[in-house]
Amino acid sequence: MPYMHQYDYIFAIGVIFATLDAFNIGANDVANSFATSVSSRSLTLRQACVAAALCEFLGAVLVGAKVSGTIKNGIISLSSFNKNAGVELLGFTCALVASASWLMIATYKSWPVSTTYSIVSALAGVGVAIGGKDAVKWGWNDAKGIAAIFAGFIIAPLLSAGFASIVYLITKYAVLERKNSIKSALILSPVYFFTVAAVLTMSIVYKGAPSLKLDKLSKPTIALAIVLTGLVIAILSILFWLPYVHAKVVKKDYTIRWYHFFFGPLLWKRPAPEESLETIHAHVPDYRVVGRDDEKKVYSDDGSNHGPGHDHDNGELPPTTLPIEGHDGSPNRAKKIELDNDVEASQGRAQPRHSVPLEQVEVDPKTQIQGLWILPRNLWVIVRYKIPKILLHGSSIDVHAMQNAQGSKQANRIHEMHERANQYPNETEHLYSFLQVLTACTNSFAHGSNDVANAIGPFSAIYYIWSNGVITPTNTPTPTWILAFGGIMIVIGLATYGYNIMSVLGNKLTMHSPSRGFSMEFGAAITVLLASQYGIPVSTTMCITGATAGVGILSSGFRGVNWRAFGWIFMGWVLTVPVAGLAGGMLMGIILNAPHF
């Protein structure tokens, strides 16, 4: 093929900044999919990273091609390049440099911005630098122009808020506010499984990989496939999921483990523990937003709370409570367990891990490098301990601790905001934690299909120009390996630096719980998937933000939402347009008009 080797340096710069752009999309944007799950404690940060790795990659590879075509061909008029392949190669490279640089700054500063608007604005700036304002497709342009994309500035949050509010209202009045909320949740949950599975199947069918040609099937076949897939998932949930959660939340079986899920109907006959020890062993996690860390809570042998901030009416222990065992190894239920951050382990009391200063933690000498690093022993320490610690650092951060700046004005405002919201029984919330994980994965899949285009759209154009030496045609397929490359970098971005954006989302915006988070994520997922089907690259940041605001208002009123934080997020959206646009335009203009020998 006629490679343009005279422009190898431009292609190399494009590769570097496309990589950086995809990395920052993962670090900045993927938090939109899993911040609610992590904030509500349905998933740990590491579990969220693993789930995102699978869903983002599959979404990018399977259904990312159509949207990447919008980013690649729908913003700048190809005629403005005057059939000069080198100028087009430079233009897309400058757009990537501007977008990646802005995203890197925003991510470092913990600003959740729109990665879609960043690349679109940068491309628009490049277009103006090349041929003036007429070079940019400002109109609707068959849902591919600037107007269609920026219409999402208003449409995306409103639609997401609407969908999420509907889901939450159904959940609230059909389940949460019922006298027997657990029974209602068990009855209604298979319906949700059917709906979520149908939505995900719809996205795969209508936006499937071109090689599969699923969207070419007849409409009756497509409808049948969607309905049957939803029914299969719903039936599986009845056969396997219902017995499993029934044993946990109704029988209070604290001995059940995750692998018992596969026992299915056999769990209906599984006997509950003879002695109820829920005051010692929590049969379900505690999803409630407990008060400030400086509150002392005392739990007696019946699980009642005699300290301030009493809200544990179900007898579950908070996450920092551990069982106190007697000398024979059995739980000593006669003791009262008093938790405080300054309690010492030598007194035989439970101690939160974060209460021990880092400098006082003993370091295992086996993990330390002694002498020259090149020595065989030190190389083994680096490979065995140091490298895994570095790779796993981003997934080991305590996001909840980062969100709680103890004693600050912000922490007090957040605490007052949380007090306005009702907190529902942990058993009921536990049922929705499964649905929340499923909707988070759906959201992540949608994000991979939609926002991978922000990095690999321009990069695929760069690769096509460099490898073929001609202007990109109007419709060019995006190679699968480029989609996979973008998906991998997005996953790496989340796993290593995604915690930075997660720390400013979640409970800082409004109180989160599995039922609320499920409604937020499902509403945002529906919006993103509908936009992805029509080739409109909406912002997932705006979708999840709108969904969060909608559910927060319905849950605890206008004062139950942190509007100051929402204001900062909105300002980041607004700043993205001029910053990325000016950076891309000025960079392109300076290089095109620079003096040379």
Instruction: Write out the H or E segment, with its range, that includes residue 243.
Output: helix 242-249
* pLDDT band with cut points at 50, 70 and 90 for residue 509: confident
Q: Residue 167 and residue 272: Cα distance in Å, rounded?
A: 34
Give the residue with greater pLDDT, 5 vs 430. 430
pLDDT(77) > 80: no
* pLDDT band with cut points at 50, 70 and 90 for residue 403: low
pLDDT digits (tens, 9 = 90+) for 119-162: 888 988 998 888 887 767 777 666 566 777 677 777 888 889 99
Give the residue with greater pLDDT, 362 vs 536. 536
Phi, psi for 17 (deg, rounded to 5): -80, -25
Q: What pLDDT score was predicted for residue 338?
A: 35
Mean pLDDT of 218-239: 90
Q: Residue 280 and residue 303: Cα distance in Å, rounded?
A: 8
Q: Residue 33 and residue 23: Cα distance in Å, rounded?
A: 16
pLDDT(210) > 60: no
* pLDDT band with cut points at 50, 70 and 90 for residue 19: very high
Closest CA to 22 of 70, 66, 68, 63: 68
pLDDT(291) > 70: no
Q: What pLDDT score was predicted for residue 419?
A: 81
| Mean pLDDT value across the chain | 76
pLDDT(557) > 50: yes
Structure tokens given for 57: 């990659």
Q: What pLDDT score was predicted for residue 323?
A: 37
Q: What pLDDT score was predicted for residue 300?
A: 32
Structure tokens given for 262: 């596969």
Give the residue with greater pLDDT, 567 vs 313. 567
Structure tokens given for 245: 């959660």
Give the residue with greater pLDDT, 107 vs 386. 107
Give the residue with greater pLDDT, 579 vs 351. 579
At what angle are helices 453-468 and 115-131 packed, to 10 degrees?
40
List residues bridging with 136 in a β-sheet: 76
* Least-confidence region, from 15-24, 94-103, 137-146, 476-485: 137-146
Mean pLDDT of 190-216: 73
Structure tokens given for 305: 């709370």
Structure tokens given for 83: 């059939």
Most confident of the ranges 123-137, 386-400, 576-590: 576-590
Structure tokens given for 275: 């002695």
Q: Residue 72 and residue 460: Cα distance in Å, rounded?
A: 8
pLDDT digits (tens, 9 = 90+) for 537-552: 677 788 888 999 999 9
The alpha helices in 404-479, defined as continuous H runs, are 409-419, 426-451, 453-468
3-state secondary structure 53-105: HHHHHHHHHHHCHHHHHHHHHCCECHHHHCCCHHHHHHHHHHHHHHHHHHHHH
B/e letters for 131-160, b = 16+ CB within 10 Å, e = fewer, are eeeebbbeeebeebbbebbbebbebbbebb
* pLDDT band with cut points at 50, 70 and 90 for residue 72: low
Q: What pLDDT score was predicted for residue 11?
A: 92
* pLDDT band with cut points at 50, 70 and 90 for residue 194: very high
* pLDDT band with cut points at 50, 70 and 90 for residue 240: very high
Q: Residue 397 and residue 406: Cα distance in Å, rounded?
A: 17
Q: What pLDDT score was predicted for residue 60?
A: 79
* pLDDT band with cut points at 50, 70 and 90 for residue 317: very low
List residues bridging with 325 in a β-sheet: 331
Contacts of 132 (CB under 8 A, 6+ apart): none
* pLDDT band with cut points at 50, 70 and 90 for residue 324: very low
* pLDDT band with cut points at 50, 70 and 90 for residue 227: very high
pLDDT(588) > 90: yes
Q: What pLDDT score was predicted for residue 321?
A: 35
Q: What pLDDT score was predicted for residue 304?
A: 35
What percent of the chain clears pLDDT 70, i.e. is strictly above it?
75
* Least-confidence region, from 90-94, 450-454, 525-529, 571-575: 450-454
* pLDDT band with cut points at 50, 70 and 90 for residue 115: confident
Q: Which residue type is seen at 330?
A: S
The reported pTM is 0.75
Mean pLDDT of 433-457: 80
Q: Residue 116 and residue 455: Cα distance in Å, rounded?
A: 9
Q: What pLDDT score was predicted for residue 329?
A: 38
Most confident of the ranges 92-96, 491-495, 522-526: 92-96
